[in-house]
A and B are shown apart, each in its own frame.
Chain A
Amino acid sequence: MEEMKEIIRAYVVKEYVEDDTEVGFDTPLISGGIVDSFSMVSLKRFLENRYGISIPDDKATPEAFDSVNKICALVQEYLH
């Protein structure tokens, strides 16, 4: 779980952060303006490819993607 969090955090920073904003596990990503809703699609696809899962579109909501912790919980749900 900790490894997954680090992987997702690293992806978010590399993909979306263009200044020195720090991203913690609970940092609001969508509501905090770090990830715009347009760009969520690449995050969803990254998770699906990396973990071999399929997240239904109606589950990939801005709320479910709003922090590293929430994203991890979502991925866990579809891993089993």
Chain B
Amino acid sequence: MAFSTKTRGIYQDVLKGIQEAGLFKQERFIHSAQAADIEVEFPTGSSLKKVINICANNYLGLSSHPEVVKAARQGLDTHGYGMSSVRFICGTQDIHRKLEKMVSAFLGTEETILFPSCMDANAGVFEAVLTKDDVMISDRLVHASIIDGIRLCSAMHDTYKHSDMEHLESKLQLHNDKRLKMVITDGVFSMDGDTAKLDKMADLCDKYDALLFCDDSHASGFIGKTGRGTHEKYGVMAKMDIITTTFGKGLGGASGGCVSGRRELVEMCRQKARPYLFSNTIAPPVVAGVIKVLEILSATTERRDKLEKNTEFWRKGLTEAGLIIKEGDTPIVPVMLFNAKLSQDVSTDLYNEGIYAIGFFFPVVPQGQARIRTQISAGHEIHHLEKALDAFRKVGKKYNILGKTKQEIIDRYGM
């Protein structure tokens, strides 16, 4: 037996260490469809509790939208359940190609290639388009999937301070001798909810002949006047060289992702990206669902407009309640608590009040930056948000953090 007592003991010790460090992740079982109102079993074995979900990436409320569910069901009937093949052997259907064309039209790009997830898109794209003669210059707060993709690529890698354009320019100067330079950023940063300054970045990329890459997973479908993403918000639709995004958040919330951008770069991914070449693409019912999502979002901006209004209401409500939030205008609204234990206690109390929101602390966010990350959805109605605000006021009062400064909260609870 290879899995000996000694081997098991090694893993048990590691897992115990994770638990003792307070970093052990426990899943809560949701017994209903994903929506603003959900039924949750937590702790495991307890009776179901009805709660309002304010921690999903379901920004547009499309995860369980009847038209999307119906389209996915029809896709299942007409195109089957799975492909049992990678794309280039016998795993490409008409609807895969249709979705690629629709994504290009929606994002305003030349071409698109689907991936099983955006994690896979980011894991494969850099290695496919860059070599050891090139350099990747990334924001220091980019998503973990980008970091993994960068690690898999032979090009040189450097970083710039978060959203610091002066620092980015100094890096473009430092590496100006490289064959190709690629500037890499998230569109909306998932932990702080701030946006990349894509207009200034595009200017710098023009000046230094660099490629511009943006992961718009927390933006596609709702950032910008017509929801095309961060590049629309900053007026640089035609200047993006590569956008990666997911269908697992605002765009239906199921799964799948893509690389979208310059024709040649996308073709390089089709020829060389390993997660594309060596795994099945998105399953037919999901493809059919995403096609419906893009049809809905191309026909009307109603949902992103509602999300914008909900976000304004939520940010204003939290601020007026006396809580400290990260400034911005995206539906990712971190409520800052600074202390790790406080973030867990507040999360537990909110859950007892019927509000499902998670506390994040180091190492997911920097030391002393613990928070409750709230995420607003077009699926929320004002009564959901009012109830959640009531809960935040009640819990905030209990911990005496309403109207307090950062220093006052740290003085009371520590970093």
Give chain A's interface residues, CB within 8 Å of chain B: 18, 36, 38-39, 41-42, 45-46, 49
Contacts and interface: CB of A to CB of B under 8 A. Distances in A.
B321 interface: no
Interface stretch (B41-49, B154-162, B329-337): B154-162
A45 B175 contact: yes
Contacts of B157: 38, 41
A41 B156 contact: yes
Interface string B287-302: 0000000000000000
A41 B157 CA distance: 7
Contact of A45 (B147, B159, B174): B174
A49 to B, nearest CB: 7
A39 B167 CA distance: 13
B158 A41 contact: yes
B158 A18 contact: no
Nearest to B157: A38
B274 interface: no
10 tightest CB-CB pairs across the interface, nearest first?
A: A42-B158, A41-B158, A39-B159, A38-B157, A41-B156, A45-B174, A38-B159, A42-B174, A41-B157, A18-B161
**Residue from A39, A42, A49 whose CB has the most chain B CB atoms within 10 Å:** A42
B158 A49 contact: no
Nearest to A46: B174
Interface in B133-162: 147, 150, 156-159, 161
19 contacts: A18-B161, A36-B159, A38-B147, A38-B150, A38-B157, A38-B158, A38-B159, A39-B159, A41-B156, A41-B157, A41-B158, A42-B158, A42-B159, A42-B171, A42-B174, A45-B158, A45-B175, A46-B174, A49-B174
Interface of B: 147, 150, 156-159, 161, 171, 174-175
Contacts of B174: 42, 45-46, 49
A41 B156 CA distance: 8
A39 B158 contact: yes
B22 to A, nearest CB: 19
Contacts of A36: 159
B86 to A, nearest CB: 31
Contacts of B158: 38-39, 41-42, 45
Contacts of A41: 156-158
B181 to A, nearest CB: 13
A23 B221 CA distance: 45
Contacts of A45: 158, 174-175
Contacts of B161: 18
Contacts of A38: 147, 150, 157-159
Nearest to A37: B157
Contacts of B147: 38
Given A45-B174, A45-B175, 9 more contacts: A38-B147, A39-B158, A41-B157, A42-B158, A42-B159, A42-B174, A45-B158, A46-B174, A49-B174
A52 B156 CA distance: 20
Contacts of A42: 158-159, 171, 174
B210 to A, nearest CB: 16
A53 to B, nearest CB: 16
A18 B147 CA distance: 20
A78 to B, nearest CB: 19
Nearest to A45: B174
A18 B162 CA distance: 10
A42 B160 CA distance: 10
B18 to A, nearest CB: 20
A32 to B, nearest CB: 14
A29 to B, nearest CB: 15
A23 to B, nearest CB: 16
A61 B175 CA distance: 20
A27 B174 CA distance: 25
A11 B343 CA distance: 36
A18 B159 CA distance: 14
Contacts of B175: 45
Contacts of A49: 174
Contacts of B159: 36, 38-39, 42
A56 B157 CA distance: 16
Nearest to A18: B161
A17 to B, nearest CB: 10
Nearest to A43: B158
A18 B175 CA distance: 22
A32 B156 CA distance: 23
Nearest to B164: A18
